[in-house]
Chain A
Amino acid sequence: MTLKIKNPGLSTSIQDLGRPGYFHLGIPMGGAMDRFALRAANTLVGNPEEAACLEAVFMGPEIEFQAEATVAVTGADLPIDVDGNPVEGWTSFKVKAGQVLSFGFLVSGARAYIAISGGITTPEALGSRSAYPIGALGGVEGRAIQAGDVLPVGKVAGVGAGRSVPTELRRKPANPAELRVLPGLYWHRLTEASGTGFFEDEWTVAPEADRMGYRFKGGKPLEFVDRDQPFGAGADPSNIVDGCYSYGSIQVPGGTEPIVLHRDAVSGGGYFTLGAIISADMDLIGQLQPHTPVKFVRVDMDEALAARKDRKQMLQRIREELS
């Protein structure tokens, strides 16, 4: 079975759960920005949770199915349409050969996940089908999808229509969105007043935010503690001797606009990182539109681990509901 891409939308890409294990070589994990939504979409259509889906950002693609399949769309609220008929999100539905899936204007959220029974079966690169265009890995010949692409899909019977994720398990950002932060190794570089201000200010998502990093604007510039410039560090107070970055780490070049490194992150560099977004909130970032107001909320390690446990339980509830 194959899918024919009639219109790719805006940088719609093939994503699974990524390729962990190569970050020390500068190759990021990649994979779905909203991993929870991808797992849910796959579970709805009876796929293994890690199967490859399409990740559409801000705009949906237009896809023609060459054979019958079960499909589900999760994540952003992007109105779904099959041959002119509206279809529910977070719910499995059947398509017949020749039918066309298309989307309306984005209502809320940012990224929609389109799972097809059998999963997309393009070749793996370093253990993943996720597109990482900067490294020309995965996806369709290392890139996002284009009009005219024909994507292979695994052959399975597919589960039935009407399987649905309960509404309370469809996680969406609040307004303002709250992103929990664990202060990190370089927190001491900020003055106490500036550190407090970072959490008090309201920030907004900058339009250039993408899979590599989410940039935020609108808060007060950060103030740094005076220091002697270390050997090997740049002259700006936001510079450090080059170090490793983690997923979710928050760098603030020049102290002005925080950037949260996301799934396609660079692995190291010379900016201090004031801390990291906790793993439980990384998926939420993937659902933030440009200009969305955001508050950063300070947490400690215990709260971060409790939040991670909560997320695991939500996922477990979806598995049980749909088993």
Chain B
Amino acid sequence: MSQVLSPLPGTFYVKPSPEAKPYKAKGDMVAVGDVIGLVEVMKTFIEVKSEKAGTFREYVADDACPVSAGQPVASLEF
């Protein structure tokens, strides 16, 4: 198992817009560089990308909730 970490503090979102589906669901393939979520800070949305390839397991941070730098936001399986 591997975790995707937020690179910076802010508010974490699992989907690109309120109406959209989450970026990833359980069982989805994840490639290196795939977008997993967004962090909002300073009126900017920063994409959180996976640094590893694997299979998406779950989000471990809640949608629209505060995250700190280095906090796990999702987990992957291999």
B42 contacts A105, CB within 8 Å?
Answer: no
- Report whether A289 and B9 are in contact in the complex, using a CB–CB cutoff of 8 Å: yes
User: In whole angstroms, what is the CA distance A7 to B6 when docked?
Assistant: 17
Chain B's interface size range is 10 to 19
Quote the shortest CB–CB distance from B13 to chain A (angstroms). 11
B5 and A11 contacting across the interface, CB-CB below 8 Å:
no
Contact of A290 among B5, B41, B46, B70 (CB under 8 A): B41
B7 in contact with A208 (CB, 8 Å):
no
Q: Within the complex, what minimum Cβ distance (angstroms) separates A208 from chain B?
A: 5
CB neighbours of A208 from chain B (8 A)? 40-43
B69, CB-defined interface residue at 8 Å: yes
Give the residues in chain B near A209, CB-CB below 8 Å.
Answer: 42
Q: B24-45 interface mask toward A, CB cutoff 8 Å, 1 = contact, 0 = none?
A: 0000000000000000111110
Residue of B8, B11, B43 near A58 (CB, 8 A) is: B8
Residue pair B8, A207 in contact (C-beta under 8 Å): no
Nearest CB in chain B to that of A79: its residue: B70
Residues in A neighbouring B69, C-beta threshold 8 A:
58-59, 105-107
Which of A104, A107, A207, A291 lies in contact with B42, CB distance below 8 A?
A207
Contact, CB under 8 Å: B68 / A289: yes
Question: Are B7 and A207 in contact, CB atoms less than 8 angstroms apart?
Answer: no
> A210 touches which one: B8, B9, B43 (CB < 8 A)?
B43
Q: With the chains together, A289 CA to B42 CA distance in Å?
A: 10
User: Could you tell me which residues of chain A, from 10 to 50, have a CB within 8 Å of some CB in chain B?
Assistant: 10-11
A residues near B40, Cβ cutoff 8 Å: 207-208
Nearest CB in chain A: distance from B23 CB, A: 19
CA distance A291 to B70 in the complex (A): 15
Contact A207 B11 (CB under 8 A): yes
> Which residues on the A side are within 8 Å of B43 (C-beta)?
208, 210
Q: Is the CB of A106 within 8 A of B11?
A: no
Chain A: CB-nearest residue to B8: A58
Report whether B70 and A105 are in contact in the complex, using a CB–CB cutoff of 8 Å: yes
User: Are B70 and A106 in contact, CB atoms less than 8 angstroms apart?
Assistant: yes
Are the CB atoms of A210 and B42 closer together than 8 Å? yes
Interface digits, A205-230 against B, CB 8 Å rule (1 contact, 0 not)? 00111100000000000000000000
* A291 in contact with B9 (CB, 8 Å): yes
Q: How far is the CA of A102 from the CA of B36 in the complex (A)?
A: 24
Within 8 A of A (CB), among B42-78: 42-44, 46, 66, 68-70
Quick one: closest B residue to A105, CB to CB?
A: B70
Inter-subunit contact B41/A105 (CB<8 Å):
no
Contact of B46 among A10, A104, A210 (CB under 8 A): A10
- Whole-angstrom CA separation of A10 from B44 in the bound complex: 10
Bound Cα distance A105, B51 (Å): 15
Instruction: For the complex, give the distance between the alpha carbons of A29 and B42 in Å.
Output: 20
Query: For B5, what are the chain A residues with a Cβ–Cβ distance below 8 Å?
Result: 105
A107 cross-chain contacts in B, Cβ below 8 A = 69
Complex Cα distance, B6 from A59, in Å, reads 11
B68 to chain A, nearest CB (A): 7
**Residues 7-23 of chain B, each 1 if its beta carbon lies under 8 Å from chain A, else 0:** 11111000000000000
Q: Which residues of A contact B10 (CB under 8 A)?
A: 58, 207, 290
Residues A290 and B66 in contact, CB atoms below 8 Å apart: yes
Docked Cα-Cα span, A291 to B7, in Å, equals: 16
Binding site for A on B (CB under 8 A): 5, 7-11, 40-44, 46, 66, 68-70
In addition to A10-B46, A11-B42, A208-B40, 9 A-B residue pairs with Cβ atoms within 8 Å of each other are: A11-B44, A58-B69, A106-B69, A107-B69, A207-B40, A208-B42, A209-B42, A289-B9, A291-B11
Nearest 8 A-B pairs (CB), nearest first?
A105-B70, A106-B69, A291-B66, A58-B8, A210-B42, A105-B69, A289-B9, A207-B11
